A and B are shown apart, each in its own frame.
Chain A
Amino acid sequence: MTFDITDFILKDGVKHWLWVFGSVCGALLLASLLLSYVVTGMKGPGKVIKTILGGVSDLYALSLKRVFAIASLTIKEVIRKKTLVVFIVFAVLFMFGGWFLTGSTGARGDLEVKNFISFALTTTSWLILPVSLLMSCWGIPEDIKARSIHTVVTKPARRLEIVIGRILGYVVVGTGVLIIMGFAGNIWVHRQVQKSEEAQKALFCRVPLYGDMSFFDSEGKQSEGIHVGDVWDYRRYIKGATQSTALWEFEKVTSDILVNDKLKIEARFEAFRTHKGQMKEGLLCQVFLENPVTRKRVKLPVFHINEFTQNIIRINRKLKHYDEKEKKYVELDLIDDMVFDNDINKKENILRVGVRCIDPGQYIGMAQADMFIRYPDRSFDVGYSKAIVGIWLMMVLIVSMGVSASCFLKGPVATLLTFSFLLVGQGGFRQFLNEFVDKQVLGGGPVESIIRIVTHYNQVKELEEGATKMVAEVIDSGFFYFLRIAHQIIPDFSSFKMTPFVVNGFDVSWGSALAPSIAITIAYVIPCVLIGYFSLKSRELETK
């Protein structure tokens, strides 16, 4: 499993959002002004401006009481129309799910726990999300079709209040159901693990502290690590029995991180053997702690690495260190003597940990997330709750998108549109789109591609310099700019997936998982509400 361990930076996120939001709003405004001018002449742009100003005034006059009235109507509607009966499926799955999952992993308790957690969380999300999508996409179109909306919009209810009220209502219903499902799923997991002691032990959440990583080659110079030609580019390697080193620097290491006066480091390395060596044993590995300020380096005992599973390194607070100057062993304190501050980078409480491969001719591969310090473990329930929050955020986004789409489309089409966003937003398509707009895909943009197809030009070879290339690049750059904005419209639903954290025994990180998910949700809910409002405001609710 790999995680994106990069912490979310709010300032950069807001900047990016403003850029996309501003660009899309600007483009839409321009298109609306032009279209209204073409359709209705000189009056058109005036009407567009009036509608926008009306939106500002509606926002100012927004009444929470009316929003809550519409939300409570929505809740009653969902409950009384018996929409929630579908969740009986959930109960049935949980009643019999255990029969098929227990014993499916050859009685390895830790793997069984993974299955149980994955089943509980996946079932919850796959039931709540489609139902939320359907509910949100059909509410307003049904209201318009039955014309019951006539009795609402002829009251002082603003259309903005209708959109927000509907979203709020569906979110409240979804939240209620999610709490019940989450609670039931949690109890189910706890009941399932009671059958195996090994499984019970595996039910906890590790809280990792990740560090910055750098490689040094056999001459001690900073490098990118050795590429062994493996297809998967995730890990880089260090060469055995040389100065080749992987170095991590962990920030904010204080005595709070110690458990029973011991520092717990977890590592997951991969071996690359150029000769068989000792096949029955893992490669030999040396871990050391280093303080560049005091120039003290403490070597830890050499150990054989366990491949494809975790290596736990426990380091006592009191360390024995052989002082070369004094020619004797001295006792060092892990926190007081090995942790240092970097005034240049303004980083505090840094612990530097190095790894070397001892076996000559062999390589050890590692990536940034492969070694981390473990904070005191947290209860499984904490991580599980955070994963439920992830599902909840995704539900909020889907509901907002569904309600927004239903303001200008009929129920089935709104469902299809929202479902497409959901599908494209979490699949490989988004990754392809990311690579495409970043120009990582060979062949260039559409114009360049056409030229290559027509002239049978190889994708790898650069186009010949000249007017054709220049024209193609200019048109393609416009296309890429448009696509770069357009691909931001599709939310990255994979950011909401917090299940893998819990399934793999990790706590859900605030900085790299929860915070970006919350930011993405807010970033998309705002435009969704605006799109829904302006669509509902600018459409006639009665057409013959």
Chain B
Amino acid sequence: MEIENVIEVQNLTKIYRDFWGRKKVRALNSLSLNVKKGEIFGLLGPNGSGKTTTMKLLLGLLFPTEGEIKILGKPADDVKKNERIGYLPEESYLYRFLNAEETLDFYGRLFNIPAKLRKERADKLIKRVGVQGARKRQLKEYSKGMTRRIGLAQALINEPDLVLLDEPTSGLDPIVTRDMKDMILKLRDEGKTVVMCSHLLADVQDVCDRIAILYSGELKELGKVDELLKEQDETVLRTSKLDQNVIDQVKAVLEKNNVELINASQPTATLEELFLKTVEQSKARPGQRFVPENEQAESKESSTNGSSKK
């Protein structure tokens, strides 16, 4: 069965012009892509590749020079489409003089959500993004991570079918990044379509089902993340830790079958995993700190000599 397209983009071109109408820069060149319902779609590319321009064209913040956009079956400049869309901008461009509750209430009012339901949703979202303790504080007092969280909450106030996230993890620490990625995955589990653009490749790889890679405003690659990353002429075997003896035996078997062993080494964890593990342990055992090896030795020595060095 054909899966419904939530976004359809055909030959989308955007040229920025100066005051006199002269061409300044071609930000996007004949971009064509579709986003299917229920997937997490990533727009990848270096700075200036046209990711944010695409996002803003989808939202009607910019007008296309050429091409056609259908978003939830409606043209990009149709305001009605916004009723089913949630948008988290690149920076959290929220009203900094409002507090979390007022922010969500304000955006809820723009959707004409009844007051009681607005309150319920705001409470739920504040809890979900984890800013309960700061719900009465003005956003200008928030850290960047907290602002991003409340930014995501405002994008979800209308329970949208399509969520557009512009650089959702940019500038966040690994813990908030992890939380953000978990929230994005949860959105997909709830049946929502998510489109995110980012230049943080690891984040995109972690959450996206399909990606499009843009460079200089042109589409260079489009497809499923797994398929795009698959090395067609290599095989990876993952086992529990092997002795050198066993490795040598495996190597011999492979040589016998004319297969080259490219690498046999013990895998390392990612820095993100190490960081998150450390933070988790710190939460579990507060007060524990890292002691350098030389200090540990000194400490052992002094305890055997009966001194009370602290």
Q: Is A147 an interface residue (CB 8 A)?
A: yes
Q: How far is the CA of A58 from the CA of B79 in the complex (A)?
A: 9
**Looking at the complex, which of A150-158, A323-331, A373-381, A384-392 is the stretch in contact with chain B?**
A150-158
Q: How far is the CA of A148 from the CA of B107 in the complex (A)?
A: 12
CB of A153 within 8 A of CB of B112, answer: no
Q: Is B85 an interface residue (CB 8 A)?
A: yes
Identify which of residues 147-165 in chain B touch chain A, using a CB-to-CB cut-off of 8 Å: 154, 158
Produce 1/0 per residue, A133-168, CB < 8 A to B: 000000000000011111111111110000000000
| Whole-angstrom distance between the Cβ of B291 and the nearest chain A Cβ | 47
Chain B residue at minimum C-beta to C-beta distance from A147: B93
Identify which of residues 64-93 in chain A touch chain B, using a CB-to-CB cut-off of 8 Å: 65-66, 68-69, 72-73, 76-77, 80-81
CB of B25 within 8 A of CB of A544, answer: yes
Q: Is A279 an interface residue (CB 8 A)?
A: no
CB of B110 within 8 A of CB of A147, answer: no
Identify which of residues 517-544 in chain A touch chain B, using a CB-to-CB cut-off of 8 Å: 540-544
CB of B87 within 8 A of CB of A156, answer: no
| Whole-angstrom distance between the Cβ of A85 and the nearest chain B Cβ | 15
**Looking at the complex, which of B54-62, B217-225, B294-302 is the stretch in contact with chain A?**
B54-62
Produce 1/0 per residue, B86-106, CB < 8 A to A: 010101011101100010001
Identify which of residues 41-74 in chain A touch chain B, using a CB-to-CB cut-off of 8 Å: 54, 58, 61, 63, 65-66, 68-69, 72-73
Knowing A147-B91, A540-B61, A542-B62 are in contact, say whether A155-B97 is a contact too (CB < 8 A): no
Q: How far is the CA of A148 from the CA of B87 in the complex (A)?
A: 12
| Whole-angstrom distance between the Cβ of B136 and the nearest chain A Cβ | 14
CB of A151 within 8 A of CB of B16, answer: no
| Whole-angstrom distance between the Cβ of A39 and the nearest chain B Cβ | 6
Q: Chain B contacts of A151 at CB under 8 A?
A: 87, 89, 93-94, 107, 154
| Whole-angstrom distance between the Cβ of B72 and the nearest chain A Cβ | 12
Q: How far is the CA of A149 from the CA of B79 in the complex (A)?
A: 14
Identify which of residues 73-125 in chain B touch chain A, using a CB-to-CB cut-off of 8 Å: 77, 79-80, 82-83, 85, 87, 89, 91, 93-95, 97-98, 102, 106-107, 109-112
Knowing A69-B109, A148-B94 are in contact, say whether A544-B87 is a contact too (CB < 8 A): no
Q: Is B31 an interface residue (CB 8 A)?
A: no
Of A39, A58, A156, A541, which is in contact with the most chain B CB atoms at under 10 Å from its CB? A156
CB of A156 within 8 A of CB of B97, answer: no
Q: How far is the CA of A315 from the CA of B242 in the complex (A)?
A: 124
CB of B112 within 8 A of CB of A63, answer: yes
| Whole-angstrom distance between the Cβ of B110 and the nearest chain A Cβ | 4
Knowing A151-B93, A151-B94, A156-B79 are in contact, say whether A65-B109 is a contact too (CB < 8 A): yes
Q: Is B267 an interface residue (CB 8 A)?
A: no
CB of A154 within 8 A of CB of B87, answer: yes
Of B63, B77, B110, B158, which is in contact with the most chain A CB atoms at under 10 Å from its CB? B110
Q: How far is the CA of A278 from the CA of B67 in the complex (A)?
A: 93
Of B63, B79, B80, B87, which is in contact with the most chain A CB atoms at under 10 Å from its CB? B79
| Whole-angstrom distance between the Cβ of A539 and the nearest chain B Cβ | 9
Knowing A76-B102, A155-B111 are in contact, say whether A544-B91 is a contact too (CB < 8 A): no
Identify which of residues 2-37 in chain B touch chain A, using a CB-to-CB cut-off of 8 Å: 16, 21, 25, 27
Q: How far is the CA of A63 from the CA of B82 in the complex (A)?
A: 15
Q: Chain B contacts of A61 at CB under 8 A?
A: 79
Q: Chain B contacts of A544 at CB under 8 A?
A: 16, 25, 27
Produce 1/0 per residue, A225-267, CB < 8 A to B: 0000000000000000000000000000000000000000000
CB of B93 within 8 A of CB of A158, answer: no
Q: How far is the CA of A147 from the CA of B62 in the complex (A)?
A: 13
CB of B93 within 8 A of CB of A148, answer: yes
| Whole-angstrom distance between the Cβ of B210 and the nearest chain A Cβ | 23
CB of B93 within 8 A of CB of A150, answer: yes
Knowing A148-B95, A151-B87, A151-B89 are in contact, say whether A540-B63 is a contact too (CB < 8 A): yes
A155's partner among B27, B62, B107 (CB-CB below 8 A) is: B107
Q: Chain A contacts of B93 at CB under 8 A?
A: 146-151
| Whole-angstrom distance between the Cβ of B20 and the nearest chain A Cβ | 11
Q: Chain A contacts of B91 at CB under 8 A?
A: 147
Produce 1/0 per residue, B47-71, CB < 8 A to A: 0000000001001111100000000
CB of A147 within 8 A of CB of B95, answer: no
Q: How far is the CA of A80 from the CA of B137 in the complex (A)?
A: 13
Q: Chain A contacts of B158 at CB under 8 A?
A: 155
CB of A76 within 8 A of CB of B60, answer: no
CB of A77 within 8 A of CB of B111, answer: no
Q: Chain B contacts of A146 at CB under 8 A?
A: 93
Q: How far is the CA of A54 from the CA of B63 in the complex (A)?
A: 15
| Whole-angstrom distance between the Cβ of B60 and the nearest chain A Cβ | 7
| Whole-angstrom distance between the Cβ of B13 and the nearest chain A Cβ | 14
Q: How far is the CA of A235 from the CA of B94 in the complex (A)?
A: 63
Knowing A66-B112, A77-B95, A544-B27 are in contact, say whether A154-B82 is a contact too (CB < 8 A): yes
Knowing A69-B110, A147-B91, A153-B60 are in contact, say whether A76-B85 is a contact too (CB < 8 A): no
Q: Chain B contacts of A66 at CB under 8 A?
A: 109-110, 112
Q: A150-B59, A157-B82 are in contact. List 4 more A-B contacts (CB 8 A).
A: A63-B112, A150-B87, A154-B85, A541-B61
Could you list 17 examples of A-B contacts with CB < 8 Å? A54-B77, A58-B79, A65-B112, A148-B93, A151-B94, A154-B82, A155-B82, A156-B83, A156-B110, A156-B111, A157-B82, A540-B63, A542-B61, A542-B62, A543-B16, A544-B16, A544-B25
The 8 closest A-B pairs by CB, nearest first: A69-B109, A147-B93, A155-B110, A80-B97, A154-B87, A148-B93, A156-B82, A157-B110
What is B's interface to A at a CB cutoff of 8 Å?
16, 21, 25, 27, 56, 59-63, 77, 79-80, 82-83, 85, 87, 89, 91, 93-95, 97-98, 102, 106-107, 109-112, 138, 154, 158
What is A's interface to B at a CB cutoff of 8 Å?
39, 54, 58, 61, 63, 65-66, 68-69, 72-73, 76-77, 80-81, 146-158, 540-544
